[in-house]
Structure 1
């Protein structure tokens, strides 16, 4: 039996890292003897998260161009050349059957070199508005897995396959984990639980909001599990001393916290949106406006337009947050409708569908 070799590259944020890990896990389940190598940016979070998931990773000296003139921008050509040279060495030594990119700057040099070496390449685009790396790579990619429709303006139509975003399979049966979840996180089963998600890096604006509205929320008789992000932990950890509030930098068992949550306040990053569609908890999206082409708002609106979630723009939080949350908390019909409609938008087979297409590509006679 042939032993396949897979390289996966994506990083910078959890939205690029965890889809790559989900794809690798599914490939590993089907090909237990396969070899895997991840490639990321040497100073980004993938260098910790990928080894924690059990995979080897190598780092490239690469970063994106800043919107303003900085010293890092002057180094970009040098970093790019260095990364292309190292990517060429990695490809030559590892000899992958295919290279899989999930976005982030490190995937650019690697997939570019792989395509020039006639190695099959695929990219997975999580967002409704593609990043610059995937747009550039799409010209040479063999297949492009997308999570949203109407991306013909960005990618060749004949290469696109609508799959949804890969998510971990342990999100598929959270209803059976409620009791375990309440015990694991030491939560009170007699109180409703509000889960706050600021994305893998945390959200300054959401953290400010929750700190400001904490008394309002606690007066409603709920308990709060608040993921603030590692860089904000020092500033907000003292709120854990408050009864019915837990503040954490990172959540190690997302399946369990989703099982425990009754309501969710979240950024609208692509992976978070896909996960929340699977678990279908009543959700308020607060999109980050500080991303390319405001794609988080587009991600969130794709769910809101189908009556699957509520959304508050950052600019409207001061005026609208309390009224919107009160409405969600006390209107059970709204809660049920949001959950039912969100569930209809889930694509639980995304990871398997992507891997099916990858296998077709590596087992085709031309590969």
Structure 2
């Protein structure tokens, strides 16, 4: 590939958009070591710190989303949109990327639109079974759309769609169970329940687990790894007594170790979490958040449950059924093994590499085309 060829990634706001983009970027640099990958994102969200930390150039774009509930901030939306389009137009013009890749979030819209208006091919990567509005609209302009769940194909009727899975970090597949258990500090023969509420945390999961701790820790061979989220850790840590089989943390830096050690995960059903559960083969009880757009977490969870890779516990039943739901799996090794096999059949551990190769192919075709940029 031409050493001067540039790929621009656009996506952000949450880890579900940022980390797949970083996984694709890593795969691109491995597939074509001389390719230059840069990122466009917002100034005040996760991508502003995660992207430079990963070693990639970061270009901030002025953009904000339209709030579905009425707010005075919506009055500024048209101006912000124009600012974002202008920033994006200048960035695309300056970088002259061979391909622009969008992984979702508000910033992907203006950046990919500016690229397409300048004659640059765009590629969309959709993480959820129910695509977001931005990606659905961009699908009409895309050279290719990569989706993680087969259910998402129907939302891109005019696009060239490929079911490739969600890109995940390679490290998740490289840590052994023994290494994970050693990192957490627990014996090989114990059972581990890991509770994941996301980086900020889930009040519903935290409240239900706090009420159920006594019953769960009464089981002499059960350990609990509890990722509380940064918003809730201090208060929970202050009021919950320490226990030799309870590990609490605001955030888990070593997710590879956590997944490798886990027997059962209790967690939300965000796209990134679901994909990580699949590639690690981790049995899970999924509690979809009811507070997300179009209830897309329920669609993610139902897709995994239909394949036998997870069980779904709706949030209204969480408090009353948590103990029964997780102990049923902790006590049934054969059921867990079946879920692991189902997850591995659904998993696409090479998703990042497959998407990267496709982007490289599109980039080569575009760079060799005699048609100039608009």
TM-score range, shorter chain: over 0.9
| Cα distance in 2 for residues equivalent to 1:332 and 1:190 | 12
User: What CA deviation, in whole Å up to 9, does each residue of 1:256-284 have, x standing for no partner?
Assistant: 11111121111111111111111112210
Matched residue SS, 2:33:
coil
Q: Which has the higher contact order (CA 8 A, sep 6+)?
A: 2
Kept in 2, the 8 Å contact 1:13–1:200? The answer is no
| Cα distance in 1 for residues equivalent to 2:236 and 2:11 | 30
Give 1:256-271 correspondences, 5 Å limit: 256-271=257-272
Q: Which residue pairs with 1:194 in the alignment? A: 193
Q: Which residue pairs with 1:223 in the alignment? A: 223
User: What CA deviation, in whole Å up to 9, does each residue of 1:69-120 have, x standing for no partner?
Assistant: 1122122112111111111121122221111100000111111101101111
Kept in 2, the 8 Å contact 1:62–1:80? The answer is yes
Q: Which residue pairs with 2:79 in the alignment? A: 78
Q: CA deviation at 1:32?
A: 2.1
- Asked whether 1:44 is paired with 2:45, we answer yes
Q: CA deviation at 1:131?
A: 0.4
Kept in 2, the 8 Å contact 1:328–1:335? The answer is yes
Matched residue SS, 1:327:
helix
Q: Which residue pairs with 1:350 in the alignment? A: 351
Q: Which residue pairs with 1:95 in the alignment? A: 96
- Asked whether 1:182 is paired with 2:181, we answer yes
Q: Which residue pairs with 1:233 in the alignment? A: 233
Q: CA deviation at 1:158?
A: 4.4
Kept in 2, the 8 Å contact 1:15–1:271? The answer is yes
Deviates more, 1:332-341 or 1:153-162: 153-162
Kept in 2, the 8 Å contact 1:122–1:144? The answer is yes
Deviates more, 1:88-97 or 1:117-126: 88-97
| Cα distance in 2 for residues equivalent to 1:158 and 1:102 | 16
Structure 1 gaps, min length 5: none
Matched residue SS, 1:257:
helix
**CA distance 1:282–1:240, change in 2 (3 Å):** farther
| Cα distance in 2 for residues equivalent to 1:152 and 1:282 | 26
| Cα distance in 2 for residues equivalent to 1:240 and 1:178 | 28
Matched residue SS, 2:150:
coil
| Cα distance in 2 for residues equivalent to 1:59 and 1:236 | 36
| Cα distance in 2 for residues equivalent to 1:200 and 1:155 | 31
Deviates more, 1:164-173 or 1:238-247: 238-247
The TM-score normalised by the length of structure 1 is: 0.94
Q: Count the aligned residue pairs.
A: 365
Q: Which residue pairs with 2:125 in the alignment? A: 124
- Asked whether 1:204 is paired with 2:203, we answer yes
Matched residue SS, 1:231:
coil
Please give the root-mean-square deviation of Cα atoms over the aligned residues, in Å: 1.8
| Cα distance in 1 for residues equivalent to 2:73 and 2:154 | 31
User: What CA deviation, in whole Å up to 9, does each residue of 1:214-252 have, x standing for no partner?
Assistant: 112211232221122222232223348333222222222
**CA distance 1:48–1:242, change in 2 (3 Å):** farther
The TM-score normalised by the length of structure 2 is: 0.92
Q: CA deviation at 1:178?
A: 2.5
Matched residue SS, 1:289:
coil
Kept in 2, the 8 Å contact 1:240–1:246? The answer is no
